[in-house]
Amino acid sequence: MRARLLPLLAALTGLMIVNAGCNKNSTARKTVDLTDDLGRTVSINAPVQRIVTMAPNLTEITFAAGAGDKLVGVTTADDYPPEVDSIPRFSAVGVDFEALVTMKPDLVLATDQVNSPKDADMFASLDIPVLYLSFAGMDDIFDAIKTVGEVAGTGSRAADHAGTLREAVVDLGRQTSALTPRPRVLFLISSDRLFGFGKDSYVHEIIRTAGGESISAEMDVTAPVFSEEYVIEQAPDVIIGAFQDGTDADDLLKKYPAWSTVPAIQSGRVYSIDPDIVLRPGPRVVEGAFRMALLLHPDLLENDASVIRR
C-alpha cells in the first residue's frame, strides 16, 4: 500500500490542477429544469455561459467540471485554483447584489451551508437562476461536479473527473479497510475553542476512508463544542486539527493540562492538516482523505515530510 498511496496522491493533485483548464464544448441552448437541494425547481438556459459562485468550494467544483472559463464572478474569499485571481469578485457576506448584477450571470451557484436560502427570492426578482447545492457526503461533491458540467456543456469531462475522484475514494477505502488497529480520531476546527463535527458530517466519512474512527461521529449536534472531560473520556489515539499555527501535543497540553492521560497527547500524535482540503467540500477533499490516511497510518510511507505536516 505504501507504494500506491503516494503516486495516487500526486496523480490526483495533478488532475485537479489540469482539469481547471478550459473546455470548449458548445451546443444549442435549451431550457433545463433541475430540482436543487432546497427542493426548488430551477429553469436554466443550458449550456450556461456566465457563472457566478457564492462560495469557494463551488468555484473549485466549477473548475473541476471543466467550466472554469465560464466563471464571471467569485467571492472575496476565493483563493483556489490560481486562475481565480483574474476573475471579478464580490462580497457574499451580506450579498452585494449590485455588484453581482453587473456580472450578468445566467447561473448563480449557492450552497445553503454558507448562503442564506432567503437570497433565492432576491435572485428570482432579478430574474437570475440560482441553484442551491448541499454537501452531506463526498458523493454529493462528485454529483455536484457532474451537475455543473451538465448545465455548462462540459458534461463528459465533468463525469470523467467525478468518476476518477469517486474511484480514488473507493480504492483508498478498500486499502484501509483491512488496517488494524483503526485509531480513534478527534478532529478539531480550532485549538482555542474545541469545535468539531457531529453526526452526518462528511468529515467523518473522510476519517473512515482514511482508516480511522471519529469519536464524535454519533453526536447529534451538527457542530459540537467538546468539553475537556469529553476528550478525556473518549481517549482519542490521534488528534487532527485545522490548525494554522502549527499546534502540536505540547501546545495542547499547555492549554489543557488535564489531557495528560489522553493517548494522542502521550504519544505526540497531534497533527495539523490544511483546512481547505478537509473543511471545504470540494474536489480537494479526496486529497484530504489521502493525506489523512498517511497521518493515521504513518507506516504506509517512510517519513515523507512533504506529505505529512506534523
**Looking at residue 296, what is its pLDDT?**
95
pTM of full prediction above 0.85: yes
* More reliable by pLDDT, 96 or 200: 96
27-42 pLDDT, tens digit each = 688 999 999 999 999 9
**Looking at residue 5, what is its pLDDT?**
62
42-68 pLDDT, tens digit each = 999 999 999 999 999 999 999 999 999
Name the percent of the chain lying above pLDDT 90. 76
Which residues does 259 contact at the CB level (< 8 Å), separation at least 6?
228, 231, 232, 252, 253, 265
Domain boundaries, the chain: 2-165, 179-300
For residue 49 the three cell numbers come to 455561459
Which residues does 90 contact at the CB level (< 8 Å), separation at least 6?
52, 73, 74, 75, 76, 96, 99, 100, 103
For residue 76 the three cell numbers come to 472575496
Calculate the average pLDDT of the chain: 89
**Looking at residue 221, what is its pLDDT?**
86
- Indicate the SS3 state at residue 70: helix
Query: Quick one: pLDDT band at residue 306, thresholds 50, 70, 90?
Result: very low
What is the pLDDT averaged over residues 290-306?
Answer: 72
- With b for 16 or more beta-carbon neighbours within 10 A and e for fewer, the 181-205 pattern comes to ebbbbbbbbebeebbbbbeebbbbb
- Give the separation between CA 24 and CA 32, rounded to whole angstroms: 20
In CATH terms, 179-300 corresponds, of 3.20.10.10, 3.90.1720.10, 3.40.50.1980, 3.40.630.30, to: 3.40.50.1980
Residue 114: is its pLDDT beyond 80? yes
For residue 57 the three cell numbers come to 468550494
Which CA distances in Å does 242 have to 158, 188, 194, 283?
29, 7, 11, 18
* More reliable by pLDDT, 14 or 168: 168
- Give the separation between CA 252 and CA 260, rounded to whole angstroms: 10
235-287 pLDDT, tens digit each = 999 999 999 888 999 999 999 999 999 999 999 999 999 999 999 999 999 99
For residue 35 the three cell numbers come to 430540482
CATH architecture for residues 2-165 = 3-Layer(aba) Sandwich (3.40)
Query: Quick one: pLDDT band at residue 102, thresholds 50, 70, 90?
Result: very high
Tell me if domain 2-165 and domain 179-300 are identical in fold. yes
- With b for 16 or more beta-carbon neighbours within 10 A and e for fewer, the 219-250 pattern comes to beeeebebeeebbeeeebbbbbbbbeeebbbe
- Give the separation between CA 62 and CA 150, rounded to whole angstroms: 11
**Looking at residue 222, what is its pLDDT?**
82
Residue 308: is its pLDDT beyond 60? no
Spatial contact of 34 and 42, defined as CB atoms under 8 Å apart: yes
- Give the separation between CA 201 and CA 272, rounded to whole angstroms: 19
- Give the separation between CA 125 and CA 8, rounded to whole angstroms: 47
Q: Rank 66-75, 200-209, 216-225 by mean pLDDT and report only the highest.
A: 66-75
**Looking at residue 181, what is its pLDDT?**
87
Name the percent of the chain lying above pLDDT 70. 88
219-237 pLDDT, tens digit each = 888 889 999 999 999 999 9
DSSP result, 222-272: SS-B--HHHHHHH--SEEEE--SS---HHHHHHH-GGGGG-HHHHHT-EEE
Query: Among 79-88, 155-164, 173-182, which stretch is predicted with the lowest mean pLDDT?
Result: 173-182
**Looking at residue 119, what is its pLDDT?**
94
Which residues does 180 contact at the CB level (< 8 Å), separation at least 6?
none
Residue closest to 8 by CA, chosen among 148, 203, 210:
210
